[in-house]
Chain A
């Protein structure tokens, strides 16, 4: 990694202003810092930066002080005065704001010493958290736009395509199609107008890596797209981004403006033959628009319905012209491939999947956040070493990957190296990179129902297998969650899944059965418990669950009664408590709160 360029007598204070930290109040911390530093009499000159997401959302708001390499966690606006007086003024550490390593019980000075970061390898996220996303100078100071300069002045378009093919880069948006091959297919078509699209319509629930890149390092996406435009000789580019990602829209807008001003976008870029510009298109919040043909229909100003792909977008795409469409993270890798060379970039990863992958590690895991690891890292390393293990010392049951099109991988397969091919073989898929950790209190039948419900709502309705199949599956799965259903229904689920896989128009429908099939494959006994015994082993399905307190382990601490929203729990202090079943709404809050595992299900 490049060192930060900073004058010796200066200190830089970086405040993480990614979505997670912002929600935790980091903007107040940032403003407080700016205000107090302007009026403070400490004898050190400083400057503050609001950066993109550092990924370690669990401990936000994060404040880093450079060059001392100090990382403070969960900083509040009221801590700012002390940080300025002690740490910036006198170089003293404030112990309570430092991360406490749960293994060694020691406070740790810098995030570089923490397992969460030590095991990561940042390529797509290389600048995020280090630079001010609104400053093109910051990006340039970390080798920004050097790759563009290199391709424009030392490589022909064909050479760039070859370089990308040699790197083995596969699309990070889900399918894993080789990027270089896609570009080559586009250049093979005779045309006067070609387009480039960046797919930033990240819709998988529980996945926010593309958002983080667009918010935290918009220039790397833009540089990647300009390199792509040069390679396939495109004249216009579009970034399709969810309108809900307001910070991403804002930062991309600033970045495009600044890039134009510096001559990286527009006519004759850096004195070359290339003329290219980028426009932002804000998506309307339809999941299906992540599918490339639907996305293009949306850019054209239509309802975002997909079309059959017997003719690929590389041949006839946007407005009928050859179009290359790649995902945000794919574009973010391109400047590194060009700068370091295809071989160096491809030295990371596995045989079939080169490079790194960003995952959003969420769910019942201790360190929720964004992690970037080499392809081939095992799930165990990601969840236990980087993620710190399962919340509340519970047992891991499954990991869901690939979003609603993916599947659930059981705990027994933890040592599986994660790459495009291994996930597909396990009945799931890479998808955009969501990793949702599920413990023994997650019901796999209900999870399947959740995804099918999501997809039934997002199905565009154009083709029958997807529209009707999802509706039928949802009805059956909802019945299962209420203890209704039969073995014949299980067979119907399998049959419907098969029909949808074969007959649906687009990938949404073709993969929609994956959550059902993978949970059926690995957790069939849970389905059977619901249907045959009217029992939800995880204690989630409310119609099938009754909570009661085992008087043996109950210490009568009263925590459950305090958190019960309906006052259904009663009991004397230090004596076993009782749940009134007539009042209980089965929310399970008592079980979540109990420190002694005294709340049981039947």
Chain B
């Protein structure tokens, strides 16, 4: 993955903002948006750019939920675990994803194909429980429905051997 990091592209993101510490969050968000995670080179470049210690950048990158320090899979399942989705069975959906792909929330499959994360509320409570695969919203997902969704994205037909 590290080979894909384009230093020039990274610095073009940095220079969208003045070199002030109050823009660290915004810069990190833009990098996360571009790469779907924060590469280590990026963190170092932010530190140099705003003249802050790397530890400070790292503390922010790990404090805020929006950031990931590891790359996400080709297909990222965001399982909504807001209250409405939760009482309509989101935890079963996570268990099913774990069973078929052998990943827990926050993890990525070894082949970098799939990852799963939970989100607190997508504001689409009328469609609960909701799973978002990359940008596509899957409404009213059931314990059997999620198996079909995994298959559509090229996942295995059978549960993984744990």
Contacts and interface: CB of A to CB of B under 8 A. Distances in A.
Interface of A: 19-20, 23-24, 57-58, 60, 203-208, 211-212, 243-245, 281-287, 298-304, 360, 362-364, 368-369, 400, 403, 434, 436, 438, 442, 447, 450, 454, 460, 563-565, 585, 587-589, 592
A541 B130 CA distance: 21
Interface in B121-139: 121-128, 130, 137, 139
Which residue of A369, A400, A589 has the most chain B CB atoms within 10 A of its CB atom?
Answer: A589
A205 B66 contact: no
A23 B124 contact: yes
Nearest to B50: A301
A243 B89 contact: no
B63 A460 contact: yes
Contacts of B8: none
B69 interface: no
Nearest to B92: A587
B41 interface: no
Contacts of B29: 243, 282, 284
B89 A301 contact: no
B120 A203 contact: yes
Contact of A450 (B86, B89, B123, B126): B86
B121 A207 contact: yes
Contacts of B13: none
A589 B25 CA distance: 42
A183 B144 CA distance: 54
Contacts, number: 145
A303 B63 contact: yes
Contact of A23 (B24, B25, B119, B137): B137
A304 B89 CA distance: 31
Nearest to A286: B64
**8 smallest A-B Cβ distances: which pairs?**
A284-B64, A208-B123, A57-B126, A205-B82, A285-B65, A362-B125, A206-B83, A301-B22
Contact of B139 (A24, A364, A460): A24
Nearest to A56: B126
Contact of B25 (A281, A434, A585): A281
A57 B137 CA distance: 15
A88 B85 CA distance: 38
Contacts of B37: none
Contacts of B137: 23
- Sorting the interface of chain B by its residue count into under 10, 10 to 19, 20 to 34 or 35 or more gives 35 or more
A149 B65 CA distance: 41
A450 B83 contact: yes
A565 B147 contact: yes
Interface in B78-125: 81-84, 86-89, 92, 95-96, 119-125
Contact of A565 (B21, B127, B143): B143
A282 B87 CA distance: 29
Contact of A301 (B20, B87, B96): B20
Contacts of A588: 89, 92
Given A284-B60, A368-B126, 8 more contacts: A20-B123, A203-B120, A204-B121, A283-B66, A300-B21, A303-B59, A360-B125, A403-B83
A245 B29 CA distance: 13
Contact of B87 (A20, A360, A436): A436
B126 A286 contact: no
B67 interface: yes
A447 B120 contact: no
Contacts of A442: 87
Contact of A205 (B22, B81, B92, B139): B81
B83 A362 contact: yes
Which residue of A299, A301, A438 has the most chain B CB atoms within 10 A of its CB atom?
Answer: A301
B49 interface: no
B26 interface: yes
B142 interface: yes
Contacts of A303: 59-60, 63
A498 B92 CA distance: 33
Which residue of B28, B89, B95, B144 has the most chain A CB atoms within 10 A of its CB atom?
Answer: B144
B64 A304 contact: yes
Nearest to A205: B82
8 contacts: A281-B26, A362-B84, A363-B88, A368-B84, A436-B83, A436-B84, A436-B87, A565-B143
A197 to B, nearest CB: 14
A213 B143 CA distance: 34
A211 B120 CA distance: 14
A400 B24 CA distance: 37
A205 B123 CA distance: 8
A76 B39 CA distance: 41
Contact of B120 (A205, A281, A368): A205
Interface in B147-162: 147
Nearest to B80: A205
Nearest to A303: B63
Contacts of A244: 66, 119, 122
Given A243-B66, A589-B143, A362 B128 contact: yes
Which residue of B24, B82, B123 has the most chain A CB atoms within 10 A of its CB atom?
Answer: B123
